Amino acid sequence: MAFIGGDARQLEVIKSCIEQNAKVSLIGFDNLQSPFSGASNRELTPSLLKTVDMLILPILGTDEEGYVSSIFTTKKLALSEEHIASLTSRAMVYTGIAKSYLKNLCDQHSIRLVELLKRDDVAIYNSIPTVEGALMMAIQHTNITIHGSVCAVLGLGRVGMTLGRTLAALGARVKMGVRRTDQAARSEEMGLSPFFMKDLHRHAGDVDLLFNTVPALVVTAKVLNRMPYSAVIIDLASKPGGVDFTYAEKRGIKALLAPSLPGIVASKTAGRILAQTMTRLMSEELEEEGS
Ligand X SMILES: NC(=O)c1ccc[n+]([C@@H]2O[C@H](COP(=O)([O-])OP(=O)(O)OC[C@H]3O[C@@H](n4cnc5c(N)ncnc54)[C@H](OP(=O)(O)O)[C@@H]3O)[C@@H](O)[C@H]2O)c1
* Exposure b/e, 197-227, CB count within 10 A at least 16 = b: beebbebbeebbbbbbbbbeebbeeebbeeb
Nearest to 233 by CA among 250, 258, 196: 258
Options 62, 95, 166, 213; binder of its own copies; rule CB under 8 A: 166
Nearest to 154 by CA among 205, 231, 218, 241: 218
State how beta strands 232-235 and 254-257 pair.
Answer: parallel
- 85 versus 123: smaller Cβ distance to ligand X: 123
Residues 172-231, interacting with its own copies (CB under 8 A): 181-182, 184-186, 188-191
**Contact present, 215 and 242 (Cβ < 8 Å):** yes
- Count interface residues toward its own copies (CB under 8 A): 45
Options 58, 61, 96, 157; binder of ligand X; rule CB under 6 A: 157
Interaction between residue 85 and its own copies (CB under 8 A): no
Options 259, 272, 279, 281; binder of ligand X; rule CB under 6 A: 259
- 231 versus 237: smaller Cβ distance to ligand X: 237
Interaction between residue 129 and its own copies (CB under 8 A): yes
Options 61, 160, 194, 271; binder of ligand X; rule CB under 6 A: 160
**Contact present, 179 and 197 (Cβ < 8 Å):** yes
Options 60, 71, 123, 136; binder of ligand X; rule CB under 6 A: 123
Backbone angles phi, psi at 57, to 5 degrees: -95, 165
Options 70, 126, 187, 277; binder of ligand X; rule CB under 6 A: 126
Considering only the stretches 21-29, 41-49, 136-144, 254-262, report the one whose residues sit in contact with ligand X under the rule CB under 6 A.
254-262
Question: Rounded to the nearest whole angstrom, what is the least distance from the CB of residue 134 to ligand X in the complex?
Answer: 8
Alpha-carbon distance 129 to 125, whole Å? 8
Q: What burial class does residue 196 get, using C-beta atoms within 10 Å of its C-beta: 0-12 exposed, 13-18 middle, 19+ buried? A: middle
- Residue 214 binding target from ligand X, its own copies, none, CB below 5 to 8 Å by type: ligand X
**Contact present, 172 and 153 (Cβ < 8 Å):** no
Options 76, 118, 147, 222; binder of its own copies; rule CB under 8 A: 147
Interaction between residue 275 and its own copies (CB under 8 A): no
Residue nearest to ligand X (CB): 157
Interaction between residue 144 and its own copies (CB under 8 A): yes
Interaction between residue 144 and ligand X (CB under 6 A): no
Alpha-carbon distance 209 to 152, whole Å? 6
Give helix 120-141 / helix 158-169 axis angle, nearest 10°.
40
Q: Which helix (H) or strand (E) holds 163?
A: helix 158-169
Alpha-carbon distance 97 to 124, whole Å? 16
Q: Which chain residues interact with its own copies by CB under 8 A?
A: 8, 119-122, 124-125, 127-129, 132-133, 135-136, 139-140, 142-148, 161-162, 165-166, 169-171, 181-182, 184-186, 188-191, 265-269, 280
Residues near ligand X, by CB under 6 A: 123, 126, 130, 155-160, 179-180, 197, 213-216, 218, 236-238, 258-262
